[in-house]
Amino acid sequence: VIKCKAAVAWEAGKPLSIEEVEVAPPKAHEVRIKIVATAVCHTDAYTLSGADPEGCFPVILGHEGAGIVESVGEGVTKVKKGDTVIPLYIPQCGECKFCKNPKTNLCQKIRITQGKGLMPDGTSRFTCKGKQLYHFMGTSTFSEYTVVADISVAKIDAAAPLDKVCLLGCGISTGYGAAVNTAKVEPGSTCAVFGLGGVGLAVIMGCKIAGASRIIGIDTNKDKYAKAKEFGATECISPQDSKKPIQEVLVEMTDGGVDYSFECIGNVGVMRAALEACHKGWGVSVIVGVAAAGQEISTRPFQLVTGRTWKGTAFGGWKSVDSVPKLVTDYMSKKIKVDEFVTHTLPFDKINEAFELMHSGK
């Protein structure tokens, strides 16, 4: 058993608490990882807020991390002690019907236990002050050591800077893949990206790499426009600058609508606007943002009858074990940006400040 520091969420709506926790050794088909760097994501904040129906407390949150394998359990063959890895919240077992289907990346092998905050055998590897702590998204990267299933880990280039590539564990991969895998953006096309946070910037990067000729960024926070333009946005607009609904503004700006739109906020009203900003006959709108539990999307069916397509994406459609190492290689060879997404670097015990920076849009 390893004793180490972790940021524990004891209950919903309270700040994280830095505690000494015990991390049990990995069982069969499990891997224990020394986490070197982790990022914070809105999904962590969503669960911490208490709005997530799958949220279990007390829990160790975090799902954008990178580290070094400390030890492996019986039967683990793909990684060994000392390997550099990224934990994966969407695993890839290679055996279930989802993994065998090229149309999806949603491996279901450990979905039930992962959703309950437990390892595949139905137990936890974390304790603190005599209490069991739950795992989160199969990763729990807000701990100096974590245990994950062996199908939830990608071995990556040992030379990669872990304080940067941890972002490929969720946000960057999600946005980039939404453009290149889910929407399959084509050269010369016009795109609209709603929400210019980390995921939205990654969508813009993907649209640019795919050869889009016009990329319109949409956000009420104008402080984000300069960064969006660095990533490839050709123009940025705020919904608050017009009395007309944003979809009408976009349809007028683009002679009938955009070829591809992306919702990167998790707001069902914006999801509708993103669909309705698409061009009749061929427009495709991709939902990337995760809306709160119980919310529903709506539009007039005529929007779809007249040729628009509404899609969603999880982790950008990447088959995780196969794709994450390649994304790291693409970053190392400067094909995709990663460093530019990092705005602040803080010591682990300042993790609550990181959440404050995220909530304030910084």
Separation of alpha carbons 167 and 130, rounded Å: 33
Q: Is residue 133 part of a domain?
A: yes
In a domain, 263, yes or no: yes
User: For the domain that residue 76 is a member of, what is the CATH number?
Assistant: 3.90.180.10
> Taking the CB of residue 68, how many other CB atoms lie within 10 A of it?
15
In a domain? residue 323: yes
What mean pLDDT comes out for the span 326-346? 97
Domain of residue 229, residue span = 174-314
Torsions phi, psi for 140 (to 5 deg): 45, 65
The rounded distance, in Å, linking the Cα atoms of 362 and 360 is: 6
Residues 149 and 190 in one domain: no
362: in domain? no
> Are 150 and 182 members of one domain?
no
pLDDT by residue (tens digit) across 348-360? 999 999 999 999 9
**Claim to verify: residue 136 and residue 265 sit in the same structural domain:** no
In terms of domains, do 218 and 299 share one? yes
Q: pLDDT averaged over the chain?
A: 97
pLDDT > 90? residue 362? no
The number of domains in the chain is 2
Same-domain pairing of 9 and 120: yes
Choice among 142-151, 270-279, 289-298 with the minimum mean pLDDT: 289-298
Do residues 155 and 7 share a domain? yes
Model confidence pLDDT, tens digit, residues 12-31: 999 999 999 999 999 999 99
- CA angle 128/351/169 to nearest 5° reads 90
Give 51's pLDDT tier (boundaries 50, 70, 90).
confident
Domain membership flag for residue 359:
no
Residue 239's alpha-carbon distances to 221, 228, 253, 261, 263, in angstroms, are 10, 16, 13, 15, 14
Mapping DSSP to helix (H, G, I), strand (E, B) and coil, where does residue 67 land? strand
Q: Are residues 182 and 111 in the same domain?
A: no
- Name the pTM for this structure: 0.96
Tell me: do 341 and 231 sit in the same domain. Answer: no
Predicted local distance difference test score (pLDDT) of residue 292: 86
221 and 126 share a domain? no
Split at pLDDT 50, 70, 90, the class of 54 is confident
For Cα atoms 67, 63, 261, give the angle at the middle one, nearest 5 degrees.
125
Is residue 305 located within the same domain as residue 327? no
Same domain, 103 and 250: no
**Same structural domain, 106 and 250:** no
The verdict on residue 360 lying in a domain is: no
CATH of the domain at 233: 3.40.50.720
3-state helix, strand, coil in the chain (%, to 5): 35, 25, 45
Please name the amino acid found at residue 216: I
Whether residue 358 is contained in a domain is answered as no
**Rounded to an integer, what distance in angstroms lies between the CA atom of residue 15 and that of residue 12?**
9
Structure confidence by residue, pLDDT tens digits, 81-113: 999 999 999 999 999 999 999 999 999 999 999
pLDDT of residue 150: 98
Instruction: Quote the pLDDT of residue 53.
Output: 84
Q: Could you read off the pLDDT of 237-253 as tens digits, one per residue?
A: 999 999 999 999 999 99
| Residue 361 within a domain | no
